Chains A and B, each alone.
Chain A
Amino acid sequence: MEIGKWLKLQWDRVAAWVCIGVGALALIVGWVGVSGAAYMANAMPYLISGGIGGMFLLGLGGMLWLSADLRDEWYKLDSLERSVNRQHEELLVAEDAR
């Protein structure tokens, strides 16, 4: 499958990985910033941006990933419902033929 088409279909999983990656990076940068700060007042901005911001992005990434799983399950139910309906029609034809 072409990469562009795949990205379009799986945009939420791609976004999830991007958020998880950026979130992990933010946590590392925050940790480096906090460990290099001499005073708590200097460490606090790193704690908020790197720590809490990183957790925010990790949460968003996890949510997008699970959301994509639910969407896939929904599409699977779509195809199952179509199959049930088609077979239902066949049963009706058989019923009328009797």
Chain B
Amino acid sequence: MRGSSVAARSRPRQAPPTSVAPDIGPDLRGPAHLVRPADLASATVHHLPWNRADLLRWAVPTAVGAVLCIVAWAISSGQARESDQAGPLFLAIVALMVSGISHALWLLRGRRAVGERQRELCTEARLLRPRDRVAPPAAILQGAVAVLVTPGASFIHRFECTFVANRPVRHTSKAEATESGMMPCGVCKP
């Protein structure tokens, strides 16, 4: 796994819940799994979906393929008979296949790394999900956004957002919150 996960960094904070919760997995919810900012600061940062070994596994076959293509072309140009050119043609086709396979593997590795990270992030969001959801009054939902009652809160959310449901929030208008420098939540996108 290339990303960092909340589950791996969690620590117990209080007794497990007794109330009935939505079906999101038995132990993956509530503040019992919150982690400390110090743990978050130590999270590993990965700049790309590929590592150095992946780069080598792509670059070497591609370079070999390119060289073989050039060699095949050079050999075939020096041959006058058609029968002597079958070998270089075969060599060039093999080189093309080798480089094509290395491209495909490179993309598959990247796709897999991105998929793994997406799943990790979804798990992290689930870990922060509260046990119970209390639906806010309909009047509040119309045009208003939620802000967590926390010193220094800097995000605005929809009321049904995972991050604020069942937590102390105040409501405000989106325009007002934006003017005061708050940013929209990346998950619920108010």
Answer whether A90 and B152 are a contact pair too, CB < 8 Å, given A44-B82, A60-B103, A84-B124.
yes
Q: Indicate whether B7 reaches chain A with its CB closer than 8 angstroms.
A: no
Q: Closest chain A residue to B107 by CB distance?
A: A66
Docked CA distance A45–B80 (Å):
11
| Mask: chain B, 135-149; 1 = CB below 8 Å from A; 0 = not | 000000000000011
Residues 48-98 of A at the B interface (beta carbon under 8 Å): 48-49, 52-53, 55-56, 59-60, 62-63, 66-67, 70-71, 73-74, 77-81, 83-95, 97-98
Task: Report whether B106 and A93 are in contact in the complex, using a CB–CB cutoff of 8 Å.
Answer: no
What is the count of residue pairs linking A and B with beta-carbon distances less than 8 angstroms?
Answer: 144
Complex Cα distance A27/B118, Å? 39
Q: Whose C-beta in chain B lies nearest to the C-beta of A47?
A: B89
Decide if B151 touches A93 in the complex (CB within 8 Å). yes
Cβ of B168 and Cβ of A94 under 8 Å apart? yes
Point out the residues of chain B lying under 8 angstroms from A93, CB to CB. 150-152
Q: Name A80's closest neighbour in chain B (CB-CB).
A: B186
Residues on A with C-beta less than 8 A from B77 are 45
Please indicate the chain B residues that have their CB under 8 angstroms from the CB of A97 in the complex: 150-151
B24 at the interface (CB under 8 A from A): no
**CB of B177 within 8 A of chain A?**
no
Chain A: interface residue total (CB-CB under 8 A): 42
Tell me if B40 counts as interface (CB < 8 A to partner A): yes
Collect the chain A residues with CB atoms within 8 Å of residue B185's CB.
83, 87
Task: Decide yes or no whether A9 CB sits under 8 A from chain B.
Answer: no
B110 within 8 A of A: yes
Given contacts A48-B69, A81-B3, contact A41 B154 (CB under 8 A): no
Known: A52-B72, A88-B34, A94-B148. 17 other contacts (CB 8 A): A52-B69, A56-B96, A60-B103, A67-B106, A67-B107, A70-B49, A70-B107, A74-B48, A77-B117, A79-B186, A83-B183, A83-B187, A84-B125, A84-B186, A92-B37, A93-B152, A94-B168
Closest 6 CB pairs of A and B: A83-B186, A63-B103, A70-B110, A94-B150, A44-B85, A45-B77
Which residues on A are within 8 Å of B, measured CB to CB? 39-41, 44-45, 47-49, 52-53, 55-56, 59-60, 62-63, 66-67, 70-71, 73-74, 77-81, 83-95, 97-98
